[in-house]
C-alpha cells in the first residue's frame, strides 16, 4: 500500500528551542489554509497541549476545522506494542524456550521497544490516515537520534536473528513441526523495519530542524544535522526566538554560512511571553514563509 498521507513534516531540535511551539503554529497555519492536518507529538514529556491550551488527553482530538491533535504517551505505546506484536513475540520465544505469556511483558519493558514502536506507529498512521499532512513533533534531539539508531540496529540485527534461531533450534533439538512460522515472523519483522526506514527517507517526508541563534544551540544544530541526515531528508531550518541583538546577529550569520544552499532557512521573532493558544500561534509563521514551504511540500 502506498502512502495515504500526502506529506509528513517532522520537527527536530534540542529541548527548549521551541520545537513544539513551531510545529503547532505550522499545523494551525496549514489547517487555516484548508489542508487537513494531523498534528502528532511523540515527546513523552508532553507540552503540546499546554502550547495549544487544550486539556491533556490520551485520544486524538479535533481542535478546529481541518486539525486533529494527538499526544503519544509511553504507556499507550507499550499497550499498542503488546496488541500488535505480543503474540508474535510469544510464539517465537516459546518455540525455543519453555516460557509463558509473561515473556510479552518482559520484552515490552526492554530498552528501545518504545522508541522502535513509536516509529512503527507513525509509519502506520501515514499508511492509514486520509489527510494532507502529518505534522510530527519529535522528542528532543538526543532521544530522536536514539530512536532512529535503534530502528536501524533493529533491522540489521534481525538478519542475524534468523541464523541464531536456527542454531539454537539445532542445539536444543526442538520439535520440528511448526518451526517455519517463527522464521517467517522474524523475517517479517526485518522487512517491516526496512519499510519504516524507507518511510523516513521517503521524498514525501520533510524534516525541519529547529534551533535558536545562541552558541550551544548552533553547535547542537550542526551535529544534529550531520547525524539526522543519515536517516531523514532534512529540508528546512527554523531559527526561533530571534531578536537581532549583537550576539544573535553573529550566530545568525554562522547559521547562514553553514546551512545556506543545504536548507531553506526561516527566522521566527521572539515573542514575550511565549505564544500560547491558537490565536497567539497564528502570529508565528509569516504568510511569505508559509507560501515558500507550501510550494515545496505540496
Instruction: Read off the C-alpha cell for 3.
Output: 502512502
Q: pTM for this structure?
A: 0.90
| pLDDT one digit per residue (tens) for the chain, 298 residues | 345 789 999 999 999 999 999 999 999 999 999 999 999 999 988 899 999 999 989 999 999 999 999 999 999 999 999 999 999 988 888 877 788 999 999 989 888 888 889 999 999 999 999 999 999 999 887 888 888 888 888 777 776 765 665 565 554 444 444 455 777 888 888 899 999 999 999 999 999 999 999 999 999 999 999 999 999 999 999 999 999 777 899 999 999 999 999 999 999 999 988 999 999 999 899 999 999 999 999 9
One-letter-per-residue 3-state SS of the chain = CCCCCCEEEEEECCCCCCHHHHHHHHHHHHHHCCCCEEEEECCCCCCHHHHHCCCCCCCCEEEECCEEEEECCHHHHHHHHHHHHHHHHHHHHHCCCCCCCHHHHHHHCCCCHHHHHHHHHHHHHHHHCCCCEEEEECCCHHHHHHHHHHHHHHHHHHHHHHHHHHHHHHHHCCCCCCCHHHHHHHHHHHHHHHHHHHHHCCCCEEEEEEECCCHHHHHHHHHHHHHHCCCCCEEEEEEEEECCCHHHHHHHHHHHHHHCCCCEEEEEECCCCCCCCHHHHCCCCCHHHHHHHHHHHC
The CATH number of domain 7-77+110-297, selected from 3.40.50.300, 3.30.470.10, 3.90.1150.10, 3.40.920.10: 3.40.50.300
Query: In sequence order, what are the residues at sequence separation of 6 or more whose Cβ sits closer than 8 angstroms to the Cβ of residue 47?
Result: 20, 41
Amino acid at each position: 500500500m502506498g502512502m495515504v498521507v500526502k506529506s509528513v513534516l517532522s520537527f527536530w531540535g534540542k529541548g527548549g528551542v521551541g520545537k513544539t511551539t513551531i510545529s503547532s503554529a505550522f499545523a494551525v497555519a496549514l489547517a487555516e489554509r484548508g489542508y487537513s492536518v494531523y498534528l502528532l507529538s511523540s515527546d513523552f514529556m508532553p507540552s503540546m497541549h499546554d502550547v495549544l491550551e487544550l486539556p491533556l488527553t490520551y485520544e486524538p482530538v479535533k481542535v478546529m476545522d481541518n486539525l486533529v491533535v494527538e499526544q503519544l504517551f509511553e504507556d499507550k505505546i507499550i499497550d499498542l506494542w503488546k496488541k500488535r506484536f505480543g503474540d508474535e513475540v510469544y510464539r517465537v520465544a516459546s518455540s525455543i524456550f519453555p516460557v509463558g505469556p509473561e515473556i510479552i511483558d518482559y520484552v515490552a519493558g526492554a530498552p528501545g521497544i518504545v522508541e522502535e514502536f513509536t516509529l512503527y506507529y507513525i509509519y502506520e498512521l501515514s499508511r492509514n490516515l486520509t489527510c494532507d499532512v502529518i505534522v510530527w513533533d519529535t522528542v528532543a534531539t538526543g532521544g530522536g537520534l536514539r530512536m532512529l539508531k535503534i530502528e536501524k540496529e533493529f533491522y540489521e540485527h534481525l538478519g542475524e536473528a534468523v541464523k541464531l534461531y536456527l542454531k539454537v533450534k539445532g542445539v536444543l533439538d526442538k520439535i520440528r513441526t511448526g518451526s517455519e512460522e517463527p522464521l517467517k515472523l522474524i523475517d517479517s519483522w526485518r522487512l517491516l523495519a526496512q519499510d519504516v526506514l524507507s518511510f523516513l527517507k521517503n521524498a514525501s517526508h520533510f524534516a525541519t530542524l529547529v534551533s535558536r541563534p545562541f552558541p550551544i544551540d548552533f553547535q547542537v544544530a550542526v551535529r544534529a544535522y550531520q547525524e539526522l541526515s543519515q536517516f531523514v531528508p532534512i529540508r528546512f531550518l527554523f531559527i526561533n526566538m530571534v531578536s537581532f541583538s549583537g550576539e544573535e546577529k553573529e550566530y545568525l550569520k554562522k547559521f547562514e554560512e553553514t546551512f545556506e544552499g543545504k536548507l531553506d532557512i526561516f527566522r521566527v521573532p521572539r515573542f514575550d511571553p511565549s505564544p500560547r493558544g491558537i490565536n497567539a500561534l497564528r502570529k508565528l509563521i509569516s504568510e511569505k514563509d508559509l507560501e515558500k514551504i507550501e510550494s515545496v511540500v505540496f
